[in-house]
Amino acid sequence: MTKHLKVPKKDAQRYISRMRSADGIDNNYQIQKGDDFVLIPLKQDITGQEKMPGSEVVDVEGLQSKIKFLPKEAGGAFDLIGEIAITKIREEERAIELARSLILTHPNIKAVYLDRGITGKYRLRDLKLLSGSEIYLTKYRENGIMFQIDVSKVYFSPRLATERMLVAKEVMDGETVIDLFAGVGPFALNIAKERDANIIAIDSNPYAIELLHKNVANNNLRGKITSYCADSAEKIVEFSGVDRIIMNLPHEAFSFVTAAKKTLKTGGIINYYEILNVQELEDRMETFRDMGFELRAKRVVHGYSKTQNMYSLALRKLRE
């Protein structure tokens, strides 16, 4: 017997989304549907805790999940952005099998796409529908912030959620921050949620800026976000003496570092992201030292290939 939360069918989607955000669902078991109720397998017994109205904890036989790849345990098998799952599995049969099982067993997943690569200046995914309905616009919750994301028109990766939270916590109230490649604003909003900071968000993709505006309007933020649809290299020269610059354009950010350094105050921080192997990382850090930066922190955000990781470097400007 396994503990399940029994909820009315009409409200099931809302419960599932909420529990998924709180990482409360035991993915080893399937969500089961009755005539007018849904049973959600629980990671922990929440019998004594306050529950949403109309729900109760029940002991039932758990149905083993047929899915081998689950969001947390997947080891990169797919990313979940709201109601949309995106996989990079290259073997088509395996990808379709995964997609079909996801749609069957996860009522909150409406579409599963194959990501055939990221292209163009807006870093858009080339997506092929594997299973479900062809929807692209979805709502996604990260660190208590609600985002609207159109996965066909903007770049977004949920794999940076923890990194964005870590950066947000490093920011002090009163800082002026430039988010140089802001997308729909996940760094900007994580910071503005956490801190009373002044954030300048720049992106050249008009759809990203449109969604960023909506995301700012839909969340309760402490900080202020001003956004610009512009090329970062052209826009950044209009600012000076800023406390922090976030540079999340992993394959190209290095070419913007000289301009960013001019805009940064001495003592200011660049949060820099790049995909590198170990030797390239050593070389990059040496270059940054030669340019007048001190390395304050270094972490692996996520693996990228057998030899490469996406690294996060916090660089402090020591001199002009």
Q: How far is the CB of 90 from ligand SAM (least distance, A)?
A: 22
Q: Which is nearer to ligand SAM, 16 or 167 (CB)?
A: 167
Q: How far is the CB of 149 from ligand SAM (least distance, A)?
A: 9
Q: Which is nearer to ligand SAM, 15 or 273 (CB)?
A: 273
Q: How far is the CB of 234 from ligand SAM (least distance, A)?
A: 8
Interface residues toward ligand SAM, by CB under 6 A: 121-123, 155-157, 160, 181-183, 186-187, 202-205, 208, 231-233, 248-249
Q: How far is the CB of 215 from ligand SAM (least distance, A)?
A: 11
Q: How far is the CB of 15 from ligand SAM (least distance, A)?
A: 28
Q: Do the beta carbons of residue 168 and residue 161 sit within 8 Å? A: no
Q: Rounded distance, CA 204 to CA 185, Å? A: 13
Structure tokens belonging to residue 137: 């616009």
Q: Which is nearer to ligand SAM, 100 or 141 (CB)?
A: 141
Q: Which is nearer to ligand SAM, 40 or 270 (CB)?
A: 270
Query: Taking the alpha carbons of 305, 306, 307, 309 in that order, is the dihedral positive or negative?
Result: positive
Work out whether strand 309-317 and strand 242-247 pair parallel, antiparallel, or are unpaired.
unpaired
Chain residue at closest Cβ approach to ligand SAM = 183
Residues 6+ apart with CB under 8 A from 264: 242, 243, 244, 245, 270, 317
3-state DSSP call for residue 235?
helix
Q: Rounded distance, CA 214 to CA 310, Å? A: 29
Query: Taking the alpha carbons of 42, 302, 82, 29 in that order, is the dihedral positive or negative?
Result: negative
Q: Which is nearer to ligand SAM, 259 or 285 (CB)?
A: 259
